């Protein structure tokens, strides 16, 4: 907003303030309608119902939620909902979430998600969609769970994998790198270890604080940003939706948190492409399906180098595609810019690796390259290349 606001800005600002006072907010936070199709211990699989005259066609998509984050990461608000985008486009859309984590779940480790939750969800979705292979999309830790499950169980009916903001080389995460020598010095007997053992995991307030800490600068400047955008309804609605997301963080089970802390933060196991689980070693090189990887240009939790590191490890995959898109850790998935960047690439990728695309009689006509804001060609419209385009690379500078 200019120092001397224009008349239309004053009107818009007054309208936004009045709407917030009268109705409590500007964001349309209605969830997309869904039906539970399968459940188990910390596993709930939902099918999002198509609305109106929309008819579902093609292979299904399964959205894998990360631990600690609420499932609304995929359904943030109307207009900025990846679920809404897929459903209105006619794509059979499913999601797996975990519900509330309590103290009684403290003995559940990562193997629960890698061995049981994610594989079961994939098989249930495939069966519900008529036996079609599934396009699995995982954000953050959800992407890591999906990669490890696919590597460990190559018989899963997976059409493709997409990992969004999933850090593989933790040594390249600025928030963690300076602390690793200190963590190793304690040799597993420090205050963090004692803390999560005593509490049975990482409680909600700690998880919320950690997520906010990664965006500390935005927290400090938020009042100024709100004041300067008080006439921007879309901006204010997005802030409301993100605040609701942050307020609904979920706790980590104790054993899982311990594994993440010792094996990822301290040991950086996945950087070598292997992960020790129970009596076996899971190797990312054993993944046999195409993999799409997204890095956010301003992501502080999973910076571009930490995410891109997985590309060299997926030697068994028929195609690995890496894209840099605008946004931070959440924004790259469901921010306002994601509609013209991340989602465009996802649509193209799913079409490329869908079973219907392999049938000549059903081959869809190639659409013109999508246009991003300002008329520029959207990121990810060149299917023939393996890694990021010039537009993507420019975001690194």
d(CA 315, CA 289): 11
Q: What distance in Å separates the CA atoms of residue 141 and residue 202, rounded to the nearest whole number?
A: 15
CATH number, domain of 350, equals: 3.40.50.1820
Q: Determine phi and psi for 221, rounding to 5 degrees.
A: -90, 0
Would residue 205 count as lying in a domain?
no
**Considering the chain, what is the average pLDDT of its residues?**
77
Which pLDDT belongs to residue 238? 82
Q: What is the total count of domains within the chain?
A: 1
pLDDT at 153 over 80: yes
Lowest mean pLDDT among 63-72, 217-226, 247-256, 275-284: 217-226
Residue whose tokens read 């890694």: 387
Give the residue-averaged pLDDT of 119-147.
97
pLDDT in tens, 313-347: 999 999 999 999 999 999 999 999 999 999 999 99
Query: What letters, b where the CB count within 10 A reaches 16 and e where it falls short, cover 97-125?
Result: bbeebeeebbebbbbbbbbbbbbbbbbbb
CA angle 14, 20, 25 (to 5 degrees): 140
Does 252 reside within a domain?
A: no
Asked whether residue 77 is domain-assigned, the answer is yes
The stretch 97-117 carries a mean pLDDT of: 82
In this predicted structure, what is the pLDDT of residue 333?
96
Q: Residue 176 — pLDDT band, cuts 50, 70, 90?
A: low
d(CA 5, CA 11): 10
Give the separation between CA 250 and CA 207, rounded to whole angstroms. Answer: 7
Per the domain annotation, does 150 fall within a domain?
Answer: yes
Contact between residue 378 and residue 395 where contact means Cβ atoms under 8 Å apart: no
Is residue 258 in a domain?
no
Q: Is residue 98 part of a domain?
A: yes
Do 388 and 351 form a contact (C-beta atoms < 8 A)?
no
Strand partners, 291: 161, 320
Residue 208 falls inside a structural domain: no
The domain containing residue 325 runs over which residues? Answer: 31-176+270-394
Give the pLDDT of residue 359.
Answer: 57
The pLDDT value given to residue 358: 62
Within 123-235, strands assigned E span 134-139, 158-164, 201-202
Highest mean pLDDT among 186-200, 207-221, 306-320, 349-363: 306-320
Q: Is residue 321 part of a domain?
A: yes
Q: What is the DSSP string of 253-318?
A: EHHHHHHIIIIIIIT-GGGGTEEEETTEEEEGGG--S-EEEEEETT-SSS-HHHHHGGGGG-TTSS
Q: Pick the range with the lowest mean pLDDT from 30-39, 76-85, 249-258, 281-290.
A: 249-258
CB contact set of 292 (below 8 Å; sequence gap of 6+): 160, 161, 162, 163, 321, 323, 345, 346, 349
> For the residues 153-166, what does the mean pLDDT come to?
97
């Amino acid at each position: 907003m200019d120092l001397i606001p224009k008349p239309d800005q004053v009107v818009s600002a007054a309208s936004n303030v009045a709407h917030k006072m009268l109705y409590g907010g500007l964001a349309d936070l209605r969830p997309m309608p869904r039906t539970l199709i399968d459940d188990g211990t910390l596993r709930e699989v939902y099918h999002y119902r198509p609305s109106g005259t929309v008819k579902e066609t093609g292979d299904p998509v399964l959205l894998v939620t990360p631990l600690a984050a609420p499932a609304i990461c995929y359904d943030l608000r109307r207009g900025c909902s990846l679920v809404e985008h897929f459903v209105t486009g006619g794509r059979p859309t499913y999601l797996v979430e975990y519900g509330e984590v309590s103290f009684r779940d403290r003995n559940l480790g990562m193997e629960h998600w890698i061995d049981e939750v994610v594989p079961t969800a994939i098989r249930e979705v495939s069966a519900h969609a008529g036996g079609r292979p599934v396009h699995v999309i995982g954000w953050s830790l959800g992407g890591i769970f999906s990669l490890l499950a696919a590597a460990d169980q190559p018989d899963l009916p997976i059409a493709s994998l997409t990992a969004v903001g999933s850090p593989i080389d933790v040594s390249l995460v600025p928030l963690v790198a300076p602390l690793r020598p200190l963590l190793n010095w304690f040799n597993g007997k420090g205050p963090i270890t004692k803390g999560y053992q005593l509490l049975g995991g990482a409680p909600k307030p700690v998880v919320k604080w950690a997520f906010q800490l990664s965006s500390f600068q935005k927290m400090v400047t938020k009042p100024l940003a709100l004041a300067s955008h008080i006439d921007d309804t879309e901006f204010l609605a997005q802030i409301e939706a993100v605040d609701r997301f942050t307020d609904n963080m979920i706790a980590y089970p104790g054993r899982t948190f311990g594994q993440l802390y010792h094996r990822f933060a301290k040991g950086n196991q996945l950087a070598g492409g292997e992960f020790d689980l129970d009596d076996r070693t899971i190797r990312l090189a054993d993944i046999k399906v195409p993999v799409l990887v997204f890095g956010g240009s301003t992501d502080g939790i999973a910076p571009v180098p930490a995410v891109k590191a997985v590309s060299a490890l997926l030697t068994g995959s028929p195609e690995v595609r890496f894209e840099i898109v605008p946004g931070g850790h959440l924004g790259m998935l469901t921010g306002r810019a994601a509609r013209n960047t991340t989602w465009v690439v996802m649509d193209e990728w799913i079409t490329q690796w869908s079973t219907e695309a392999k049938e000549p009689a059903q081959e869809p006509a190639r659409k013109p390259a999508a246009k991003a804001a300002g008329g520029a060609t959207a990121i990810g419209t060149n299917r023939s290349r393996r890694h990021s385009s010039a537009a993507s690379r420019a975001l690194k500078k």
